Amino acid sequence: MELQLKIKNAEGLHARPAGILAKKASEFQSTIQISVNNQTKSAKSIMALMSLSLKKDQEFKLILDGPDAEQASIAISELVNNEFKS
C-alpha cells in the first residue's frame, strides 16, 4: 500500500516530529517506509527520518506492508496532516 503525503508543519521533519512519527510507526507490526528523492527509509527510525531532511510542503511516499497497514496508514496520515500535534 502506498500513499502520497505532504509535510505541512513549518519546521519540516526535524527531531521532534521525526520522533513522534517514529513512535507512532513503531506501534504497528507492518513494515512502514518513507520514500523521497530516490531514498527509502524506515519510518520507525528517528535517525533515518531525520536523514531525509523533509521540508515544509515537500511531498513524500508512505509505503506500508503488513497485517495492520490500513490502520497504520490512517494513523500516520492523520499525524502528518495535523502537523504532528497529538
Catalytic residue check, 25: no
Which CA distances in Å does 33 have to 54, 63, 66? 14, 5, 12
Band of pLDDT at residue 85, cut at 50, 70 and 90: confident
Length of the chain: 86
pLDDT digits (tens, 9 = 90+) for 24-42: 999 999 999 999 999 999 9
Cα 67 from chain centroid (whole Å): 18
Delineate the domains of the chain, giving CATH numbers in brackets.
Answer: 2-81 (3.30.1340.10)
60, 72, 67, 28 alpha-carbon torsion, rounded to 10°: 110
Which CA distances in Å does 21 have to 10, 39, 49? 16, 17, 9
Annotated catalytic residue, options 3, 9, 12, 14? 14
**Cell matching residue 39:** 531514498
**pTM value?**
0.93
